[in-house]
């Protein structure tokens, strides 16, 4: 495309706006499918994210995109990409580090003292993997100190994009800064090519994690194993209270008695009847 034509296309793109009706259809679909609330204050954000889908699909306008989705059964094919585009995936290694201190100093010793040697942990909105890999580093260190522990970590998310990145387990050197130096030496492999400032998670640690797609909106979570620990952090904030209640109640069904639930520091379970007691800030134990 010549410069002039590209400039005209950019102006057209910037002028294209979602109609109220299309916004309502899209936000209704997103809410029903993923639980993510999309109030009208998020219109500009949604437009920004959908522009990338328009470019990727070659569909010229929001109106054409919505016609394709809702009038021509495009939702079957495009729905998954639309959901990928609207999820917010911000995450970090050792995010909310107090949770990992609690895990090492209190939760794991308590579980072992209660006779749990087979530990199943679940990162239920794992994004690109920083959370389950952090859990795996903490868990592996503990298992080595303790001996006789059999552990496995499950990591699930709704977005297929983030799961792909999580499975690869390659991160920028900047992103792994919060990992303590001793763990960095043990669990991160630095690229031999110094021009690539990136690291790869050690294959053994990767082998301890099973990744899969799971929608927290599902009626039941078929995880197979009962869990000793569930992390559901920084995803509840996107849901309304009734959705939070349903998700948390189903997560509690997956926990063993005496198992631990971790939610994000800005999230609350207050007012939701759950079979748990609070044991630390944003940490709950099933009773
Ligand atoms: C902000 S990230 C949080 C990542 C990680 N738990 C953390 O605290 O760093 C939120 C994640 O929730 C996922 N998510 C949103 N709705 C979901 C749903 N209905 N089921 C499963 N995952 C969902 C998003 O795809 C995103 O990766």
Residue 4 — pLDDT band, cuts 50, 70, 90? confident
Closest atom of ligand 1 to CA, residue 162: 27
Task: Indicate whether residue 87 lines ligand 1 (CB < 6 A).
Answer: yes
Options 84, 95, 120, 157, the catalytic residue: 157
Note if the pTM is more than 0.85.
yes
Separation between Cα atoms, residue 171 and residue 188, nearest integer Å: 10
CB of 228 closer than 6 angstroms to any ligand 1 atom:
no
124 CA → ligand 1 middle, Å: 8
pLDDT bucket at 157, cuts 50 / 70 / 90: very high
Active site residue 67: no
For residue range 46-70, list pLDDT tens digits in order: 999 999 999 999 999 999 999 999 9
Report how far apart the first and last C-alpha atoms of the chain are (Å, whole number). Answer: 64
**pLDDT band at 1, cuts 50/70/90?**
low
Q: What own/partner pairs with CB < 8 Å and gap ≥ 24 does 222-226 have?
A: 223/122, 223/154, 223/254, 225/120, 225/152, 225/154, 226/120, 226/254, 226/255, 226/256, 226/259
Q: Which domains does the chain have, with CATH numbers?
A: 2-86 (1.10.155.10), 97-286 (3.40.50.150)
Report angle CA 16, 17, 18 to the nearest 5 degrees.
135
User: Residue 50 — φ and ψ, nearest 5°?
Assistant: -75, -25
Instruction: Give 239's pLDDT tier (boundaries 50, 70, 90).
Output: very high
Which of 74, 67, 80 shows the shortest CA–CA distance to 30?
A: 80
| Four-point Cα dihedral 90, 94, 96, 99, nearest 10 | 130
**Averaged pLDDT for residues 112-127:** 98
Confidence of residue 245 (pLDDT cuts 50, 70, 90): very high
- Ligand 1 pocket: which of 30, 157, 161, 261 to mutate (most atoms within 8 A of CB): 157
Please state the φ and ψ torsions of residue 196, each to the nearest 5 degrees.
-100, 105
Q: Report the nearest atom of ligand 1 relative to the CA of 35.
A: 19
pLDDT at 36: 97
Is residue 89 in contact with ligand 1, taking CB distance under 6 Å? yes
Q: Is the CB of 158 under 6 A from ligand 1?
A: yes
pLDDT (mean) for 82-107: 97
3-class secondary-structure state, position 94: coil
pLDDT above 80 for 163: yes
Q: Ligand 1: which of 84, 135, 158 to mutate, most ligand atoms within 8 Å of CB? A: 158
| pLDDT at residue 2, as a whole number | 62
- Nearest alpha carbon, ligand 1 atom 13: 125
49 is catalytic: yes
Where is average pLDDT lowest: 5-14, 98-107, 140-149? 5-14
168-219 pLDDT, tens digit per residue, is: 999 999 999 999 999 999 999 998 887 889 999 999 999 999 999 999 999 9
Work out the angle at residue 150's Cα, subtended by the Cα atoms of residues 147 and 156, and round it to the nearest 5 degrees: 135
With a 6 Å cutoff on the Cβ, whether 191 touches ligand 1 is no
């Amino acid at each position: 495309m010549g410069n002039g034509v590209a400039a005209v296309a950019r102006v057209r793109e910037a002028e294209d706006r979602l109609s109220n009706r299309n916004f309502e259809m899209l936000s209704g679909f997103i809410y029903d499918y993923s639980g993510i609330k999309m109030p009208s204050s998020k219109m500009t954000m949604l437009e920004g994210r959908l522009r990338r889908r328009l470019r990727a699909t070659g569909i010229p306008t929001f109106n054409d995109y919505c016609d394709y989705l809702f009038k021509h059964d495009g939702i079957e094919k495009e729905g998954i990409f639309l959901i990928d585009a609207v999820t917010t995936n911000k995450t970090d290694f050792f995010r909310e580090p107090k949770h990992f201190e609690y895990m090492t100093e209190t939760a794991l010793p308590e579980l072992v003292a209660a006779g749990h040697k087979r530990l199943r942990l679940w990162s239920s909105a794992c994004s690109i993997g920083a959370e389950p890999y952090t859990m795996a580093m903490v868990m592996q260190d503990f298992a080595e100190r303790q001996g006789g522990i059999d552990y496995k970590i499950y990591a699930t998310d709704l977005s297929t994009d983030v799961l792909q990145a999580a499975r690869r387990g390659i991160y920028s050197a900047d992103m792994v800064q919060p990992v303590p130096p001793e763990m960095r030496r043990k669990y991160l492999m630095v690229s031999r090519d110094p021009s690539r400032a990136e690291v790869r998670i050690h294959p053994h640690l990767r082998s301890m994690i099973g990744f899969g797609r799971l929608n927290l909106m599902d009626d039941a979570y078929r995880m197979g194993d009962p869990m000793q620990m569930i992390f559901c952090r920084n995803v509840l904030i996107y849901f309304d209270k009734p959705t939070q209640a349903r998700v948390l109640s189903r997560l509690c069904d997956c926990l063993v008695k005496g198992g631990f639930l971790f939610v994000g520091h800005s999230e609350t379970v207050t007012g939701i009847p759950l079979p748990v007691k609070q044991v630390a800030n944003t940490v709950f134990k099933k009773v």
